[in-house]
Structure 1
Amino acid sequence: MKVKGFTLVELIIVIVLLAVISTFTFRFVGIGAEMYATGASRLQLLEQSRFAVERITRELRNSVPNSARVTNGNQCLEFVPVKAAGTYYDAPFSSSSSASLDFVSLSTGWDEIVDDETSTASLVYPLYDRLFIYATQAIYIYQDESSFPRRWAKVEDDTTRESALTDLELEPDSYFAQKSPLRRMYVGKPPVRFCVEGTQLIRYSNYGWENPPDGDDGVVISEHLMNSSSGAISFRVINAELMRNNVVHIFLEYQSPNAEPLFFNQKIHIPNAP
């Protein structure tokens, strides 16, 4: 009687063939998983970088005209957010004028104009609002309190919005250096700064008008930046002229975990309407 079965050699051959097939199968699955992980990381970086550029763009477009400036070797962009905009009447333009004005504003989203130091934190970082009239250069926006005459002033006390027309009492002896041709006035909040530091884009706020931001108080907006290592200029500001808007160039260079480059080159126009 003949016994049916496999020889030892046949079994070894089958095992070797199965091992080879399994190796190629797992390798194929591994390549697919690797491609998925690479695509996911690339998509995450793309979404993160788009969010960063969109965040800067939206905030810039709601800034006081001519307030954008670069600092720290073109690696930081600073500007003043608008709290309210409108028209002024009876504003003081000489030391003999009354330190008050009428402010007409249809802007929504604000309910008061903040005075000066009201808390311990504010004593270190003055977080008051500034009123701007015809501030045509960044130097006028960031002038300190010792410079006079100025193109900005602040209210004497916190002032609550009354209606479309609000009476504002300014600090004693306050007056503006020059009139606006169209009587425009902007109320600006303390400045904001976006900085490229190492591989991160960091947003700073609440550091006041006269102090540089504290490196520990920033919020990370995006990562994996290569501007610092490549020497690329992150921000550039072209100042407004009579027939030209204020233009801000943003250049952010990212690199994925797989060393794939990703560039964002954005140009933002800010209306020249001081």
Structure 2
Amino acid sequence: MGVVLTIGPSQRGFTLIELVVVIVISGVIAVVASQLIQRPVEMYQSQASRARLVDRADTALVRMTRELRDALPNSVRIGCSGRCLEFLHVVTGGLYRAAPVGDPLALSFNPADADSRFEVLGLLLDSGSIQLGGSVDACRNMTASCLVIYNTGLLGSDAYNLDNAAAISALNSGAPITLDFINNGFGGGQTAFPAASPDQRFYIVDTPVTYLCDPAGGTIRRYQGYSLQSSQDAVDSHAELLAQNNPAEYALLVDQVTACDFTYNAGTPSRNALVTLEMTMQERGESIHLLQQAHLVNMP
């Protein structure tokens, strides 16, 4: 009996041309898909970077403006072409009792009276923050809190020159509350404050504060606790602030800063002073610019 062999249709794979076409089509699909995915991812990353920058810049500016509201009237100084901001920080204050010459518990503003103690009218808040000193230089070197009266910032009434500032030597928190101060070493040789406050107001300063913007290093740093200087040029750099008799303590406020601009309008007797703070920050090619303003009381 014979055997019959049946041969089916021949089996074959893809041709080279078909493989090339498939590869090309797959590549086109991959490119289109990556574009559809990449763009939203890039937008998300850019938005996230801007949000981080805005949050950090806003936090820094709010911190600065809040602290500026505790500045001694007429003590704000701007230097470094708008990159340095300095002021005297008020820890507390109140009203003093004024009376004729010879009253040991009142300020007479008469050099012949040689006042060295006065009575505080009402309460003295945060009196525990007052640091006492025993020498004239304690106020200048900020190793003691400084008593300041009627600071106009003008010649003869400028706390940076110690024209109207004295180291506090004693505090009596009983009744009545009294403050002792070292009544010598004033500018011009006088032994009393040069001018009374029309509202009988006094301030107690615990430290100068400097905010120093360094766009080259991308930072804004805060400095405090350093010696008072009559000229801001003497404390307008990191090296100078650390070279004072009482070196500054400092901390980083914010980084990734590319530009700053601080301005100060001293105002008038009928209008508050105005500080304007501008800051530019950058991250991953994203840049933001924020502006914050603070109105300051400038009546001493």
2:184 equivalent to 1:154: no
Q: Deviations over 1:111-141 (max 9, x none)?
A: 14212389xxx89953321111111226634
Instruction: State the Cα deviation string for residues 189-239 of structure 1 (Å, max 9, x = none).
Output: 2110112212322211122324732299532322333337xxxxx122222
Equivalent pairs, count:
259
2:192 corresponds in structure 1 to: 175
Q: Secondary structure at the match of 1:218?
A: strand
CA contact (8 A) 1:117 1:126 kept: no
User: Per-residue CA shift, 1:1-27, capped at 9, x if unaligned?
Assistant: 236774234444334322332233233
Deviation at 1:60, TM superposition (A): 0.7
Query: Which amino acid in the other structure matches residue 151 of structure 1?
Result: N
> Who is 1:116 aligned against?
133
CA deviation string 1:14-44 (max 9, x = no partner): 3432233223323332333222221111111
Distance in 2 (CA, whole Å) between partners of 1:124 and 1:181 is: 26
Q: What letter matches 2:299 in structure 1?
A: A
Q: Are 2:46 and 1:38 equivalent residues in the alignment?
A: yes
The residue number in structure 2 matching 1:219 is 251
CA distance in 2, matches of 1:5, 1:130: 99
Range with greater deviation from structure 2 (102-111 or 239-248):
102-111
Pair 1:47 & 2:79 matched: no
1:263 corresponding residue in structure 2: 289
Amino acid in structure 1 at the alignment position of 2:268: E
Indicate the SS of the match to 1:154.
strand
| Aligned alpha-carbon RMSD (Å) | 3.1
Give yes or no for contact 1:236–1:248 (8 Å, CA) kept in 2.
yes
Cα distance in 2 between the residues matched to 1:88 and 1:171: 16
| Corresponding residue of 2:102 | none
Q: Matched residues, percent identical?
A: 24
- Is the partner of 2:72 in helix, strand or coil? coil
Matches within 5 A, 1:137-152: 137=153, 140-145=157-162, 150-152=163-165
Task: Note if contact 1:117-1:123 (Cα within 8 Å) is conserved in structure 2.
Answer: no
Q: Which residue of 1 aligns with 2:187?
A: none
Question: CA-to-partner distance for each residue in 1:87-130, whole Å, 9 max, x for gaps?
Answer: 11112512332310112454644414212389xxx899533211
Tell me which residue corresponds to 2:144.
Answer: 128
Structure 2: unaligned runs, 5 residues or longer: 1-7, 98-105, 185-190, 236-240
Aligned match for 2:263, one of 236, 239, 244: 236
From 11, 14, 36, the equivalent of 1:7 is 14
